[in-house]
Structure 1
Amino acid sequence: MTQSIDAQEREKQKRRAILASYLGTTLEYYDFLLYGIAAALVFPKIFFVTLDPFAATLSSFATFAVGYFARPLGAIVFGHYGDRIGRKNVLVVTLVMMGVASTLIGLLPTYAQVGVLAPVLLVLLRLMQGIAMGGEWGGATLMSMEHAKPKGRGLAVSLVSAGGPTGAVLGTLVMTPFSLLPSEQFLSWGWRVPFLISALLMVVGLLIRVRVTETPEYEAARKAQAAKGGPKAIPLVTVLRYNKGQILSGVLGGLAPLSFSTFAAAFLLNYAVESGHTRTSALLAMTVANFFNIFTLPMFGALSDRVGRRPLMLTGAIAGIVLIWPIFLLVQQPSFGALLLAMVLAMPVIQALMGGVFNTWISEKFAADVRYSGIALTFQIASTLGAGLSPLIAAALLAASGGKHPEWVAIYFGGICVVSAIAYWLGNERFDKELATHTVEDDAPAAVPSGHQESRKQMA
């Protein structure tokens, strides 16, 4: 009877953990989507008005990238505390930081009102967003994965990942009615309202998150550390000492799925408008594609629990190499159907094949005692190099060609897919293995399960 009650309680906590993490990811990508749209359509015209259109767009996307450069700092700080004091406590802090920063962006004065102070404040709030998001992702992923059974890790994590397109759909649905306003009203106040709604999402997420218990795997790792007299090294130091191969593999593997996330949400949106599509039709196509992504991400995550992570990610990378130029050709067509097909290929097909599995893949590389630090650092480095820089580099390549050679951008994204495909091919599979609770230490090398110790010798 007691075992039955315990099993029911564990299942309830698992569902609550997934929901709490899902809502946090929804808020993160809601804010991300809003910022991507605003960076493409609004910020060049109200924060960088003294620059020519190309330079203003580049500057706007540069502020977009700033948040990604701040993410590794958030990963280091919150990863450390997530491994030392628990996943739950850190996740409460990161959620509040994200919500507050996004709400304040909606209250910013423009360049016309306060001059250069306006873009400075925008950058500072974007930094705050980035630091919070650097810690949020790792904790949300681990809350779900470490509450799940070994054969259900892929599905549990991918359900959290589905919060990404959910937030994007929500953000687009909220932003679209305001985008229909006359341009002067949209640029004056219409774009601000969706950012202010972040406060409501933050409150809902907090109400659920504070009721979640700590993960069983973290508790087991903490007890193991206590039995040995407590942790002997800073988690980040341990990760950098023993998991260099896992970090390198994860960073290279993350370039493609993370680049494709911002390729569609930021660059492709702007390119569609520049190619003659209306702002409304471009947002609608992206919304429909993200809606499909809500379902394809967990579908591929569940499939990875059966066939492994690597086959799906390799398929996604190869699809990216083959389809990136056809996506550009489709966007250049005047029909909405062609634009929609391009968005669907980019997100619920290519990105979902990799993104629906990638988060679990890198989480399985690290032992529980340093897992938060390990995956947060790995993901945020990849996110900075991939998602953060890709819209800026793509815009710069297009600007350098005078807007006449989008194939330069296609080659760039295709090359990223090649790099990630190599990382997937060389990486190890752990989808069907028990994960280690603690990392090898100098005074206790035998304490690590053989599979984990062996992984130190391979690119995993």
Structure 2
Amino acid sequence: MAGPAEPQGKPRKAAFAAWIGSALEYYDFFIFGSAAALIFPKVFFGGSDTASATLQSLATFGVAYAARPIGAVFLGHIGDRLGRRKIMVSTLIMMGLATFLIGCLPTYAQVGGLAPTLLITLRVLQGLSAAGEQASANSMTLEHAPEDRRAYYTSFTLNGTQAGQIISTLVFIPVAALPENELLTWGWRIPFLASALVTIAGFVIRRNLEETPVFEQAARNNAVAKLPLAELLRHHWADVLRVVAAAVIATVTTIFTVWALSYGTSEAVGLDRSVMLWVAVAANGAALLVLPLWAKLSDRIGRKPVFLIGALGSAVMVFVYLWAISTGSYPLIFLAGIIALGIVYSAANGIWPSFYGEMFTTRVRLSGMAIGTQIGFAIAGFAVSFAAEIAGPKGDNWVAVAAFTSVLCVISAIAAATARETYRVPTAELGLRSAGHTAPARETATV
């Protein structure tokens, strides 16, 4: 069951590049979430009342998710035609530039309605970049990985994403502690301007990364898809829809990272914003340790059981976490947050890179993962705005928000339950059944 011959250490190199690149890129992406909850209502939407400004600010967070499916089509096509490495480098540069420019923007008080317009434009660029980042990093790592450890190696992409959230939150903690006047004038800009250093570091790491053996072999054999999107929709449309539905599990992250932060620091609850940011650090810190463990387990027992644990467990834990916030008890909030996001949700979050990627052939893997996940993530992104609506005029109806999130978790679980189990299928044979090809007998014997 050996895959293509690989130089020793290449899987580790690919995993490290995916980890560090995702950490650096998602630092950029998630500092926007913290700012949207704590800063932007006053800086970019000062012409509205508090409730409307908060709703508009949270909507800008979701705008990036609307742009991501568009970026997924474009970047997925390039990645399946020209290679994974080119996308991994270009998305990093695009994200870093957009984030740096956000830190340079004038405020509403300075230029009026032009300020939120510019903010939304740069947020769209962030979304276009994020559309190709995870899919390219996941494809790169999966195609380099040993066949019996694909989930373990691909989990480092998500591990990097969690690290990026930790870094972005840690940067925001001292910023959020600044006096109000300093925070709203120059303090909030620091995390965004620092992205210039982030971008340079990521570029240095990724520029020398080698292309995957299976893609190089396909290129040598002229087997690269000329129109990946057309082939994807012709042969893999059911799996694309399955990934879309499964990917809405990301709502757990957006509700935890953005809406719960806004709710906890609102007048309805009145929690300290710095402490709430530390909850995110603690939960993501736990996830760093747990993600590879869930991935190892899925390499032993399969993708579906582990994913279902995460999805159905999150459907329950979202009630527990939001209830804990409503009590105002910091020990309860930390405990519930660590269990909900750090441990339970990590079961699904840690193995989806391999679970989704294994549904597709090498010819359309990046497109399939990018398009499927980004449509699902778009739903998750705008879930924050919907949550703000159903939370009521005071923003304190956490039960409605928890119920909404729980329903999406169940939908994700149902989608995962209908998928094929692929953890023992050889890399070269992944996605062949979806494409209508007859797989070798050993695939049937090992599934």
Q: Verify same fold: TM over 0.5.
A: yes
Equivalent of 1:449, from 411, 436, 439? 439
1:17 CA displacement: 1.4
Give the structure 2 partner of residue 91 of structure 1.
Answer: 88
Give the structure 1 partner of residue 228 of structure 2.
Answer: 235
Equivalent of 1:253, from 224, 246, 250? 246
For the 8 Å contact 1:366–1:436, the answer to whether it is kept is: no
Please say if 1:112 is aligned against 2:102: no
For the 8 Å contact 2:143–2:427, the answer to whether it is kept is: no
C-alpha separation in 1, matches of 2:426 and 2:145: 12
Give the structure 1 partner of residue 400 of structure 2.
Answer: 408
Give the structure 2 partner of residue 206 of structure 1.
Answer: 203
1:290 CA displacement: 1.0
Equivalent of 2:289, from 291, 295, 301? 295
Give the structure 1 partner of residue 388 of structure 2.
Answer: 395
1:263 CA displacement: 1.3
Give the structure 1 partner of residue 364 of structure 2.
Answer: 370
Please give the root-mean-square deviation of Cα atoms over the aligned residues, in Å: 2.1
C-alpha separation in 1, matches of 2:279 and 2:397: 23
Please say if 1:189 is aligned against 2:186: yes
Please say if 1:420 is aligned against 2:412: yes
SS at match of 2:391: helix
For the 8 Å contact 2:235–2:436, the answer to whether it is kept is: no
Q: TM-score, normalised by structure 2?
A: 0.93
1:10 CA displacement: 2.2
Give the structure 2 partner of residue 47 of structure 1.
Answer: 44
Please say if 1:338 is aligned against 2:338: no
Distance of aligned partners of 1:438 and 1:295 in 2 relative to their CA distance in 1, 3 Å threshold: closer
SS at match of 2:359: coil
How many pairs are equivalent?
Answer: 438
Give the structure 2 partner of residue 457 of structure 1.
Answer: none
Equivalent of 1:173, from 170, 174, 178? 170
Distance of aligned partners of 1:205 and 1:430 in 2 relative to their CA distance in 1, 3 Å threshold: same
C-alpha separation in 1, matches of 2:335 and 2:142: 33
For the 8 Å contact 1:318–1:417, the answer to whether it is kept is: yes
| Residue type of the alignment partner of 1:449 | A
Give the structure 1 partner of residue 276 of structure 2.
Answer: 282
Equivalent of 1:268, from 260, 266, 275? 260
For the 8 Å contact 1:17–1:209, the answer to whether it is kept is: no
SS at match of 2:427: coil
C-alpha separation in 1, matches of 2:279 and 2:430: 46
C-alpha separation in 1, matches of 2:440 and 2:241: 21
For the 8 Å contact 1:220–1:437, the answer to whether it is kept is: no
Distance of aligned partners of 1:451 and 1:330 in 2 relative to their CA distance in 1, 3 Å threshold: farther
Q: TM-score, normalised by structure 1?
A: 0.91
1:451 CA displacement: 8.3
C-alpha separation in 1, matches of 2:440 and 2:184: 59
C-alpha separation in 2, matches of 1:167 and 1:439: 31
Equivalent of 1:163, from 160, 163, 167? 160
For the 8 Å contact 2:425–2:443, the answer to whether it is kept is: no
For the 8 Å contact 1:264–1:346, the answer to whether it is kept is: no
Gaps of 5+ in 2: none
C-alpha separation in 2, matches of 1:451 and 1:211: 38
For the 8 Å contact 2:359–2:431, the answer to whether it is kept is: no
For the 8 Å contact 1:90–1:139, the answer to whether it is kept is: yes
Give the structure 1 partner of residue 64 of structure 2.
Answer: 67
Deviation by residue 1:271-316 (Cα, 9 ceiling, x = unmatched): 1112121011101111111111111111111111111111111111
Q: Which moved more, 1:244-253 or 1:23-32?
A: 23-32
1:22 CA displacement: 1.0
Give the structure 2 partner of residue 3 of structure 1.
Answer: none
Deviation by residue 1:143-175 (Cα, 9 ceiling, x = unmatched): 111110111110111112101110111111111
Give the structure 2 partner of residue 458 of structure 1.
Answer: none
Deviation by residue 1:161-197 (Cα, 9 ceiling, x = unmatched): 1011101111111111111110110111111111111
SS at match of 1:146: helix
1:319 CA displacement: 1.2
Distance of aligned partners of 1:383 and 1:451 in 2 relative to their CA distance in 1, 3 Å threshold: farther
1:450 CA displacement: 5.4
Equivalent of 1:142, from 123, 139, 142? 139
1:270 CA displacement: 1.1
Give the structure 1 partner of residue 427 of structure 2.
Answer: 435
Give the structure 1 partner of residue 12 of structure 2.
Answer: 15
1:215 CA displacement: 0.3
| Residue type of the alignment partner of 2:413 | A
C-alpha separation in 2, matches of 1:417 and 1:124: 31
Distance of aligned partners of 1:158 and 1:445 in 2 relative to their CA distance in 1, 3 Å threshold: closer
For the 8 Å contact 1:261–1:347, the answer to whether it is kept is: yes
Please say if 1:56 is aligned against 2:53: yes
C-alpha separation in 2, matches of 1:440 and 1:420: 24
C-alpha separation in 1, matches of 2:322 and 2:230: 43
1:28 CA displacement: 2.5
Gaps of 5+ in 1: 1-5, 455-460
